[in-house]
Amino acid sequence: MKIRHLLLTGALSLLLSAPLASLAEELVILHSNDTHSLIDPDRDGKGGVLQRKAIIDSVRNAEKNVILVDAGDMVQGTLYFKYFKGDVEYPLMNMLGYDIRILGNHEFDNGLNDLAKYYKNVKAARLSANYDFSHTPLKGMFEPYVIKKVGGKKIGFIGINVDPESLISKENYEGMLYKDVISTANATAAYLKNEKKCDLVVVVSHIGVVKDNDKPTDYDLARASKDIDIIIGGHSHTLIEPGNKGKYPSVVENANGRPVLITQTGKYGKKLGYIKIDLDALKNITPDKFDYELIDVTDRFPADKLDNKVAAFIAPYKHKVDSVNNRVIAQSMYDLKSDDRNGGYANFAADFARWFGQLKLDSLNGADGLPAYLDMAVMNVGGIRQNMPKGKVTEGQILATFPFSNHIVIEAVKGADIIDALRVAARKGGEAVSENVRVVTDDDNNLIRVVIDGEEMDPEKTYNIATIDYVAAGNDDLTGFGRGKVIWRDDVEMSVPMLRYVEHLTSLGLPIAPDLTGRFQKQVKK
């Protein structure tokens, strides 16, 4: 793949400062995915809407034809969404001038009515080929594709969305019909190429490149396709480097042996994807010859080069967020990673759930037939959204780490169903379980046994567990928990008792210092 380094070197200022004349008719596609409400830069100065806007504007200044695309999950993950529910992110996406947008799974977090309220004001082309919204509040808001005419060429864009089963709470997409990814994308791409005479077909996808419970990935789609040229992806938070031939290659062959360019920028808006296409050479050029780059979104632009209108819009929301982010409530002894499926943060979450569940049982003292004792706790690692660096911990960090509107529940579940769910968790590399549980696997992450309080779990026994309503419904592919019976549900969102737990530790003079030992353990070979 031909890779230009213009955007990544000292020539950046030349490209981003003034329009450039070009003899060839070219198209630039800029793209983002999984920005997850990161409005401000992170601790390292990476990401942030103002810097992304400055880069976008500069590229538009320098290039004649620019199309800006987002591949979903632009909400959820910081206090901006937790407090303001979309009032910040949706207007900002309009202000940045996105041309094409698709839905991620987290756009559904507050239900279809809420989504319709915000999406009716979206200025970009709204695409989904495999979601049928005919019987939902989103009826009429989405099209399967859009054709952009650039330099005498037709560029077709198709929206493709993830299977919601076991990923999105059922009540949050009620009435929506899901259609198969590969057959829908291929049929739409063939129609665009053969009937609409598109010169280039681009799929904007939110299905990811990491295999999850046999659901199709962007790679599966590319290999099964004949008419797709580019896949702009999201969902799996994967950074696909230009020209990479390793674990996540940027180019794969389709069913006819032709190359398909697959892109994804990671997460949190720390990179902006850049694809440059010579439209005059399309008949003789393949996607592996396109210029594909990842632009670092950093603080390269000084304050006087940032968009004042965007800054003014963000300011009142930022004041509220900053006030919470600056309130120190605890100390952490360790650097805890949100994506460690079998480590300290997972242990912290599960041990909190067990503490809180038992606290509630003690206070209710057998009311409504509730048990006296909680056997264990389980939490989903996917609900942990931010790292916790060693040192000071603020209220905002805790709230943003557990941002979802989940509630702690106590559920009665048969041992056999718990074992089934933990078998799935083991294949994924782990899940959050309380300190009295050990999940024993072989070297290939196949479950061998579940041990609770030093004894093997009894498949016929019913156990009382603390978890969240999302897990109790069998989501995140933990379907075994969906076969249990919820016997108590807390009235407030989980983040409230989580704050109480952290403050309780502080009141005792204790730091946040979870057990770092993995609770999913390989069988010791004799």
407-433 confidence digits (pLDDT tens): 999 999 999 999 999 999 999 999 999
Model confidence pLDDT, tens digit, residues 252-277? 999 999 999 999 999 999 999 999 99
For residue 524, the model assigns a pLDDT of 81
Across 505-523, average pLDDT: 96
For residue 213, the model assigns a pLDDT of 78
**35-317: CATH superfamily:** Metallo-dependent phosphatases (3.60.21.10)
Sketch the domain layout of the chain as residue ranges. 35-317, 328-522
For residue 284, the model assigns a pLDDT of 86
Two structure tokens written together for 421: 């769910």
Is 505 or 525 the better-scoring residue by pLDDT? 505
For residue 525, the model assigns a pLDDT of 75
For residue 12, the model assigns a pLDDT of 47
Axis-axis angle for helices 308-325, 49-62 (nearest 10): 160
Model confidence pLDDT, tens digit, residues 334-386? 999 998 999 999 999 999 999 999 999 999 988 888 999 999 999 999 999 99
The residues pairing with 201 across neighbouring beta strands, listed in sequence order, are 156
For residue 10, the model assigns a pLDDT of 37
Residue type, 77: G
Percent of the chain clearing pLDDT 90 (strictly above): 90
Task: Please tell me whether residue 523 adopts helix, strand or coil conformation.
Answer: coil
Model confidence pLDDT, tens digit, residues 173-193? 999 999 999 999 999 999 999
Interstrand relation of 432-433 and 485-489 (parallel, antiparallel or unpaired): unpaired
Model confidence pLDDT, tens digit, residues 384-396? 999 999 999 999 9
Model confidence pLDDT, tens digit, residues 88-98? 999 999 999 99
User: How far, in Å, CA of 356 to CA of 382, rounded?
Assistant: 20
Task: Please tell me whether residue 381 adopts helix, strand or coil conformation.
Answer: helix
Model confidence pLDDT, tens digit, residues 485-508? 999 999 999 999 999 999 999 999
For residue 23, the model assigns a pLDDT of 59
For residue 49, pLDDT beyond 50: yes
Nearest-CA neighbor of 226 among 193, 198, 204? Answer: 193
**Mean pLDDT for the chain?**
94
43 — pLDDT class (breaks 50, 70, 90): confident
Contact indicator for 24, 278 with CB cutoff of 8 Å: yes
For residue 350, the model assigns a pLDDT of 98
For residue 11, pLDDT beyond 70: no
For residue 471, pLDDT beyond 50: yes
Residue carrying structure tokens 């694809």? 275
2 — pLDDT class (breaks 50, 70, 90): very low
For residue 19, pLDDT beyond 70: no
For residue 292, the model assigns a pLDDT of 97
pTM comes to 0.91
Nearest-CA neighbor of 419 among 442, 375, 373, 451? Answer: 451
For residue 238, pLDDT beyond 70: yes
251 — pLDDT class (breaks 50, 70, 90): very high
> Could you name the CATH architecture of 328-522?
Alpha-Beta Complex (3.90)
Residue 45 exposure: Cα atoms within 13 Å on the Cβ side: 5
